[in-house]
Amino acid sequence: MLKIRIMPTLLFKDLGLVKGKGFDSWRRVGSVMQSIKVYNMREVDELIFLDISATDEGRRPDFVAIDELADECFMPLTVGGGVRALEDFEQLLKVGADKVAINTAAVEQMDLIAEAARTFGSQCVVVSIDARRVSQGKFRVFTHSGKILVDIGPVELARRSEQSGAGEILLTSIDRDGTMEGYDIDLIREVAGSVSVPVIASGGAGTYEDFVKAIEVGKASAVAAASIFHFTHQTPLGAKQFLASRGYEVRL
Amino acid sequence: MQCTSSQNPNNERSEEMIRYIKYCRRCVMPETKPDLLIDGEGVCSACRYYEHRKAVDWKKRGEELASILERFRSKSGDHYDCIIPVSGGKDSTFQTIRMLELGMNPLCVTATTDRLSTIGRKNIENLKNLGVDYIEVSTNPVVRRRINRIALTQIGDVSWPEHVAIFTIPVRIAVQLKVPLIIWGENSQNEYGGPAGDAQNNTLTRQWLEEFGGLLGLRVSDLIGQDGIKRSDLIQFFYPEDSELRRVGVTGLFLGYYLPWDGYQNALIAQASGFTSYHKTVEGSIVNYENLDNCQTGIHDYFKFLKYAFGRATDLACLHIRRQRLSREDAMNLVKAHDGKFPNQYLDCTLNDILDDIGMSMEEFVNVCDRFTNKKLFQCDTRGNLIKDRSGNLTKINYDNVVDEDRRDS
Amino acid sequence: MLSMKTVAIVDYGVSNIDSVRRAIEECGAHPIVTSSFRDLEKASHIILPGVGSFPVAMRNLRERRIVESLKEQVVAKKIPFLGICLGMQLLAATGEEGETTEGLSFISGTVRKFQPLSQDYRIPHIGWNSVIVVRDNPLFRNIDPASNFYFVHSYHLDCSNSEDVVARTPYCGEFVSSVMRDNVFGTQFHPEKSQKNGFQLLRNFLSI
C-alpha cells in the first residue's frame, strides 16, 4: 500500500531559513545545511524547500545554492520559489530537485504548468496554492508569499492546475501557518475532494492528531509541517508511529 | 563549492543582486542570528529587551528569589538545598558565591568538558575551595569523541554534545538525588534576543531545551546507530522523563532573571575569589575572562561565524555596547579585528590537537567548514569560490549597514 | 572493489541526473555523466536515469545517437545496465504516453498509464510503497522482501513475459516495479532517493 508521507518544510528568506506566523513575523531559525543534514539523518519521507523571497525580489531560483543542498539530500526533494520559466524547471531538476513547485507562476502563467508537464512529466510539477479565508466558508488564493489577493478560489485553481497537467497540489492555509493550531480541514477537504492528484496539506500542524485529521477528514495524501518539527520535541518519526498506531500505512 | 550568484552567464555576482546583511543600529549584531528580530527602527530585540531591564524592580525580583530559596531550603540539613550546574567559569563561580551568600547549601555539578584546559582545571579547583560539595560527571571519552565528530560533520557544531551534557546531566542528578531546585545562570534568550515570550520565561523546561538549548534540531536519539553508537552509550545524554521530573518536583530557574546579570561584573566578583583569567585575549574573542575551559570552543565559535556571520567577538561587543562600556564604532573595530578567525589555536590547544582527537584531517575539516558556510554572507571570487586569506580567514560582504536603504525591503 | 567501477550515467537532456550521480559517488564508485559513445564504451556499468516523458526521451536518445551505443554495450557486450523510473519504461518495446513510441526493446512489454480503481487512488503514484520481490535476483540481496522504496510516476511497464518480472507493487491492483533480463535491470522506483534500501540496491547492482 502507498504510505502516508510526512514532509518537513524548509522556508528560505533572503539569507537563511525562517519560520513565520500567518506568513508574517518571520523569525530566523538555524542554517539550511544543518537542517538538511538532520532530516537526512532522520530518514524523513520527503523534504520541501521553498525560497519565499525569490518572487518578491524578482529573482530566479538560486541554482548554485540548491545544487549544494541537494548534494546532501538523499531523500526526495521538492523545490519551489521564483520559478517562472521552463528553464527554471530544467535547471532545478538538473541540480537535484525531484519535483518543482510553482506558486505565483501557476496563477500568472498557467501555460507553464502544461509546458512543464509535457516536457518533464506531470510527476515533476507541483502547484503550490496559498489560501486564506476571506469570509464565511469562502477561500481565496494569494500569490507573492501571501501578499497579493487573486480573485480565484483554491478549488478552482487546483482543478485548473490538474487539467493543465500538475501532478500534485501543495495546499497551504495562510491563516494557520506557523500557529500550530491545526490544519484548516475544511480547506483541505474541499480541494482534495475536487481533484484526483495527490494533495499535500500544509499550514498549522501542532500535534500528531492534526496529521490524522488532515488525512482522515481532509483526505490529504501527505502532510507537510515546519514549526512542529523545529520547535517541539515531536518528530517525523513520532508522527508516523502515532499514525501507525491508528491504523494508517506509514513507512517505519 | 560555489557562492550564490545572480543569473548571469559568467556566474559573476552582480552588484544589483547582493542582499547585504543588516545590522542593529545600536549594537553590532547581524540580522542573521537565529531568533533575533530587527525592528522597523533598525534596533534588535536584544537591545530592546535590555531597555526593559531599566524598568525592572530588582528589589522585588530579589525578594521573589529569596522566597523561592526559602521554600527549597532543607530544614533538617540532610538534603542539598539546590544544585548549581558549574564549569568553573566566571558565571558559575559567581552563581556559587551568590548562593552561598544567600545561605544555600548547594551541590555543584559539572558535566566534564571535552578538552579541559589547564586554566579550566585550575578554576574548577578554585570553585571547590569556595566551600561546596562537588560532583563531576564525565561521559565515556571514547564515545564522546565519536559524537563530537558526528556533530561537527552533521550539524556543524562540535560542541553540541557538550551543550546537551551541560543541560542534561545536572537535571539527571537532580532527579537521582532528589534535589528539586536547579540554579542556572542566564537565559541566553534574554541577553542575546529571542522571541519576546521566551525572554520573559524564567525556568528551564524541556521545551526551552528543545527550542533554545542550542540543540540545532539534532536529538540524542538520532545518534543511535551512527558510527557504532548504541543506546547504552548515551545514558548520560538522555533528559529525564517528564514523569520523573514531576515526581521530584524539579524546577530550574535562571538567576539572570532575579538579578541584573552582567558577565563582566560576574568576572570581577569571581576574580576577587580566586578565579583566574587568561593572560591574553582569547582567540576569536575580545576578552580574557570567559570560555576558558574547553579547547574546542574555538571551533564552535568559528562555525557560528560561518553560518551566521558573527562570532564570539560580536556577542561580547554587543553586551558591552548595551552597558555603555563600548561605543559602537570601537566595537565595530574590535569585531573586525577578532571575529571569525580561522581557529588555528585556542588556549592550550592547536587545531591539529583537536582534529587528532576526533580523527579528522585538516582537509576534511576545511571541507566541513566550507559546506556549512552560508556563502551569501561572504566574499567570493568571480568563479564563486570563497575568498580566503593566507590563514584561511574569510571576509564578510559587509561589516555594517550599507547606506543605500531603498534597495532592500525590511 | 566498487571504487574501481566507472559508471556511465546517460545524459539525455530531460532527466534528474545529479541525484543518481551523487548516490553512485556515495556508494564509492566513479560516476561519469555522459552521452558519448566513447565514455559508454569504457564503463563497467550503465545507468539510464529517468524523469520526463517517454516520447520526448526517445526522441532525445535518438537525436544524440545514444540508442545505437546502448544497444552495442547492453545487447552485444552485455554490460550491466539499470534503467530507473522512466529509464525502466524506456526498456520497453512500446510506450503509450502521449503517442505510441517505440522504446529500446530490451524488455518486451508496453508502457501504460495507471487506471485508478477509485477516488482513493490518486495519480501520479507518489510516495513510498512496498516492493514485493517475486523472483531471486542480485539487485535485492540483503534487502527485506517487502521493503518500501520511493515512487513518482503515472505510467508503468506492463511486461509481456512474466520471467522478466522481479518485483511487483500494490497500486491500482498491482504493477511491475522491477524487471530483469540477463544483464538488463529496471526499477520503477528511485533507488537514489530510497535511502538505506535504495543504496543497498545500488551497491548490489554495482557488484554485478
Which domain, by its residues, includes C200?
2-206
CATH domain A5-245 topology: TIM Barrel (3.20.20)
Which residue out of A63, A74, A219, A250 would a mutagenesis test of the C interface target, given it has the greatest number of C Cβ atoms within 10 Å?
A74
CB contact under 8 A, B4 and A62: yes
Give the minimum alpha-carbon distance from C201 to chain A in angstroms, rounded to a whole number: 14
CB contact under 8 A, A198 and C150: no
The answer to whether residue A147 neighbours chain B at the CB level (below 8 Å) is no
CB contact under 8 A, C51 and A96: no
Residues 282-311 of B with CB under 8 A from A: 307-308
What pLDDT does residue B196 have?
Answer: 40
Residues B15-59 pLDDT 10s:
446 789 999 999 999 999 988 888 899 999 889 888 888 888 999
- The percent of residues in chain A predicted with pLDDT above 90, rounded, is 62
The answer to whether residue C123 neighbours chain A at the CB level (below 8 Å) is yes
What pLDDT does residue B199 have?
Answer: 45
Residues C146-173 pLDDT 10s:
999 999 999 999 999 999 999 999 999 9
- The percent of residues in chain C predicted with pLDDT above 70, rounded, is 95
Catalytic residue from among C45, C153, C159, C192: C192
The answer to whether residue B70 neighbours chain A at the CB level (below 8 Å) is no
Find the residue in B nearest to A15 (Cα): B376
Residues C58-91, buried b or exposed e (16+ Cβ, 10 A)?
bebbeebebbebbeebbbeeebbbbbbbbbbbbb
Find the residue in A nearest to B307 (Cα): A31
What pLDDT does residue B304 have?
Answer: 94
The answer to whether residue B8 neighbours chain A at the CB level (below 8 Å) is no
What pLDDT does residue B209 have?
Answer: 63
What pLDDT does residue B7 have?
Answer: 39
CB B109 within 8 A of CB B169: yes
* Residues lower than pLDDT 50 in chain B: 1-16, 196-201, 407-410
Question: Using 50, 70 and 90 to split pLDDT, how confident is the model at A41?
Answer: confident
The answer to whether residue B370 neighbours chain A at the CB level (below 8 Å) is no
The three-state (H, E, C) secondary structure of chain A, written as one string: CCCEEEEEEEEEECCEEEEEECCEEEEECCCHHHHHHHHHHCCCCCEEEEECCCCCCCCCCCHHHHHHHHHCCCCCEEEECCCCCHHHHHHHHHHCCCEEEECHHHHHCHHHHHHHHHHHCHHHEEEEEEEEEEECCEEEEEECCCCEEECCCHHHHHHHHHHHCCCEEEEEECCCCCCCCCCCHHHHHHHHCCCCCCEEEECCCCCHHHHHHHHHCCCCCEEEECHHHHHCCCCHHHHHHHHHHCCCCECC
Catalytic residue from among C27, C85, C156, C159: C85
* Residues lower than pLDDT 70 in chain C: 1-2, 14-15, 95-99
CB contact under 8 A, A71 and C152: no
Residues A208-250 pLDDT 10s:
999 999 999 999 999 999 888 776 668 788 899 999 999 999 9
CB contact under 8 A, A94 and C128: no
The number of domains in chain C is 1
Predicted complex ipTM? 0.91
Which residue out of B7, B158, B308, B369 would a mutagenesis test of the A interface target, given it has the greatest number of A Cβ atoms within 10 Å?
B7
Kindly give the interhelix angle for C18-26 and A63-71, rounded to the nearest 10 degrees: 30
State yes or no: is C85 an active-site residue.
Answer: yes
CB contact under 8 A, A1 and C26: no
What pLDDT does residue C43 have?
Answer: 93
Domain boundaries, chain A: 5-245
> Number of A:C CB contacts under 8 A?
114
CB contact under 8 A, A68 and B1: yes
Question: How many Cβ atoms are within 10 Å of A196's Cβ, its own excluded?
Answer: 13
State yes or no: is C190 an active-site residue.
Answer: yes
Instruction: Report the residue from A30, A56, A62 with minimal CB separation from B217.
Output: A30
CATH number of the domain that residue C118 is part of: 3.40.50.880
CB contact under 8 A, A30 and B206: no
What pLDDT does residue B6 have?
Answer: 39
What pLDDT does residue C178 have?
Answer: 97
Helix (H, G, I), strand (E, B) or coil at B281: coil
Residues 58-87 of A with CB under 8 A from C: 67, 70-71, 74-76
Give the minimum alpha-carbon distance from B18 to chain A in angstroms, rounded to a whole number: 10
What pLDDT does residue C85 have?
Answer: 93
C–B contact: 3+ Cβ pairs < 8 A: no
The answer to whether residue B12 neighbours chain A at the CB level (below 8 Å) is no
CB contact under 8 A, A119 and C124: no
- Read off the pTM: 0.85
Q: What whole-number distance in Å separates Cα of residue C165 and Cα of residue C158?
A: 10
Phi, psi of C29 (to 5 degrees): -95, 180
State yes or no: is C192 an active-site residue.
Answer: yes
Rounded average pLDDT over A27-34: 84
Residues A157-198 pLDDT 10s:
999 999 999 999 999 999 999 889 999 999 999 999 999 999
